[in-house]
Amino acid sequence: MSQLVQVGKDTYYIDLPSKVGVYRVAPGSAILIDSSSYESARKIEAVLEENGLRPQAIVNTHSHADHIGCNAYLQEKYNCPIYANGIEVEFIREPLLAACYLYGAYPYKLMRHSFLMGKASQCQYLDPGNLPAGFEVAPLYGHAMGMIALKTPDNIWFTGDIACAPSILEKYPLAFVHNTTRYLASLDEARELKGELFICSHADPTASLDELLDFNKETMERMIDYTWEACQDGPQSFETILARVCALCKLNLNFMLRANMGSTVKAHISHLVDSRRLKPLMEENILKYQALSPGEAR
């Protein structure tokens, strides 16, 4: 059963596959950081009620379905405001945008799935005045367009999806990323965060992020290299590149994984094109990518 784990004087988390941060503002009142996936609604409600807590607000680190999944349920039950950063607000207000973004157009019914999109909730733009004194916000863009990390007054960071546990990446090495170049920069920025404990949504809490960040960076760089290597025998279409990368990773994609991991490979292609390791070209109305050697890149 899910439980409330105390990690600071007033800082806790609910131990779910996508962790929910809990900061006790006053007796009976708390701020939630993320709300996990929609299947967790009753579990979160039960943990809060067992501990005599009522959400004063929810702050989402970003708008992905496994972080906003219980927003609507909790907001309806507790009438609490929801806050997020920048463009993430619009994706929370209208989750269909996430499915459209991943599919590239209005998605067919199979793609309008809770794995890709949560239920719409009323969301406001986060302002420092929305948080109690002592909170700190840090931008960690790349995994999502406007993802943030939050530090509670107990000096404990909730860092969203800046890094995943090695056990997850070993099974699914094509971890989702929106902007590969920006994500790699955010990995370095995350090393500069100062705190007593760091809680990533999909990893065990740790006193230092360094090893986790190293593993995630190494995995990401390997996926980038796989993407480039997929074009070594001549220009290749996106579908061929995706199939070859998945074969190297021993992945068999369903519709949902294809949407996520296909988008990730596209992000890697953008990174490689912008760094002049791949060159886009058209062949018989098919967009293809040609690998460039270091000499050609110059």
Q: What is the tens place of the pLDDT at every residue in 43-55?
A: 999 999 999 999 9
- Residue 67 · residue 40 · CB < 8 Å: no
Q: What is the mean pLDDT of the chain?
A: 95
CATH number of 4-134: 3.60.15.10
CA–CA gap between residue 10 and residue 153 (Å, rounded)? 8
Residue 114: the pLDDT is 82
Residues of the chain with CATH 3.60.15.10: 4-134
Quick check: 294 pLDDT over 90? no
Residue 100: the pLDDT is 94
Task: Using a pLDDT cut of 70, give the percent of the chain over it.
Answer: 98
Domain 221-297: which topology?
Arc Repressor Mutant, subunit A (1.10.10)
CA 180, chain centre distance (Å): 13
Q: What is the tens place of the pLDDT at every residue in 148-206?
A: 999 999 999 999 999 999 999 999 999 999 999 999 999 999 999 999 999 999 999 99
Task: Write down the pTM of the prediction.
Answer: 0.95
- Within 10 Å of residue 199's Cβ, how many Cβ atoms? 24
| 60-69: b (≥16 Cβ within 10 Å) or e | bbbbbbbbbb
Residues of the chain with CATH 1.10.10.10: 221-297
Instruction: Identify the band that residue 1 occupies on the pLDDT scale cut at 50, 70 and 90.
Output: very low
CA 13, chain centre distance (Å): 18
